[in-house]
Structure 1
């Protein structure tokens, strides 16, 4: 359906032009693959671009099961139901968070360098990824954006699994997805070119966006 992430971003940006609050929006790309898509969305809307770096907090004996997520600035969101059912202790929680916090800060520094994160307080925040399968990272990103003070959270993706997109409407104020194919099995199947996005590609997108914002 999409030539590459640039094509997906151009189409997504076109769809989002009439979005309420878009004139004061901040576009956040999920690294790495979501950033080239978000870059085109930000250009279409004339909005600032940033990354949203989140890390899932996994149950120690079952890491794929998340009991919460963390974001920059000390933000932490927890799922009390998972914590209760998995019987995660405070010490276990602290150790998982310590490890994931270190990785989050390393990645944020790598992508953004010396630039400060864009302030989200009171803004419409558009969280962008290149596609959604299970939705765990996108859900965490929406929760973290809201915890940073976003007045409205919009999740925008080119393609996603129908049932996952439906479930994410509980975490975002609005979900924009260009296509929800019935037989969804892998994000990359909906791109002609789904080559890996490198750290350097993310850094360059953010550098160019910072230049146009400054200008």
Structure 2
């Protein structure tokens, strides 16, 4: 499946997620690339949009190769891909050094994107976690664990494209996965988009203004 751009991917993904509209879901995007996709889902499902700030921890000599990932929070969630760490000969000290750099970028994004913006209340809700695609799954796993810690009633992972083996590995981490294309060989996420430009900070901020995190005040079933 070839998507025209992230907007096109988001609209197609939204159609596959329409069954959740009546359940008042919270849409959680991984910035920056996941935000335009998630914005289309939020529009179609009439849902609030919020972020999960997560960063890939790349191998120093191959930054695009994930040896782990980290999310923000008082106690950051850190996921290590030990197979990559060991095969690339990365020491614990070097791993920690790269992790600190990514945590600093997370803090910059938190201030730039969120500031004093109201955050979505995930506890007891249906949470739909969205990105523009999944490669190794390290970043996604860190995001899943971070969202789980916030106590959602149900956690759904939704992406336009992800390799089949990664989808299988992540199935046990969430309640449901919606993925439009599951190739055996991914190559790179960008291969599945005609337009895969780098999403800028301004695009993220504009999307968040359109969809306040407190747009829907829904009382969880357990509280009724």
TM-score normalised over the length of structure 2: 0.79
C-alpha distance in structure 1 between counterparts of 2:158 and 2:138, whole Å? 15
Sort the Cα spacing of 1:197 and 1:92 in 2 relative to 1 into closer, same or farther, 3 A: closer
Aligned position for 1:35? 35
109, 112, 132: which one aligns with 1:110: 112
Q: Unpaired segments of 5 or more residues in structure 1? A: none
Deviation at 1:94, TM superposition (A): 7.7
Alignment: residue pair count: 208
- The aligned counterpart of 2:222 is none
Choose from 180, 183, 199 the match for 1:181.
183
| Aligned match of 1:18 | 19
The 5-angstrom pairing of residues 59-208 of structure 1 reads 64-66=66-68, 69-72=70-73, 74-77=74-77, 99-208=101-210
Tell me how far 1:71 sits from its aligned partner: 2.5
Structure 2 gaps, min length 5: 217-224
Q: Secondary structure at the match of 1:31?
A: coil
SS in 2 for 1:102: helix
C-alpha displacement of 1:208: 1.1
Partners of 1:10 and 1:192 lie apart in 2 by 15
The equivalent residue for 1:5 is 6
> Are the structure 2 counterparts of residues 58 and 198 from structure 1 closer, same or farther at C-alpha, using a change threshold of 3 Å?
closer
Equivalent position of 2:219 in the other structure? none
- Residue 168 of structure 1 aligns to a residue whose secondary structure is helix
- RMSD over equivalenced CA pairs, Å: 3.1
Offset at residue 100 of structure 1 (A): 4.1
Q: Which digits, 9 at most, give the CA deviation of each residue in 1:144-191, with x for residues without a partner?
A: 001122222111001111111111112211111011123421111111
Aligned-partner Cα distance in 1 for 2:99–2:24: 33
Deviation at 1:58, TM superposition (A): 7.5
Does the 8 Å contact 1:5/1:36 carry over to 2?
Answer: yes
Mark the CA change 1:24 to 1:190 in structure 2 (over 3 Å): closer, same or farther.
same
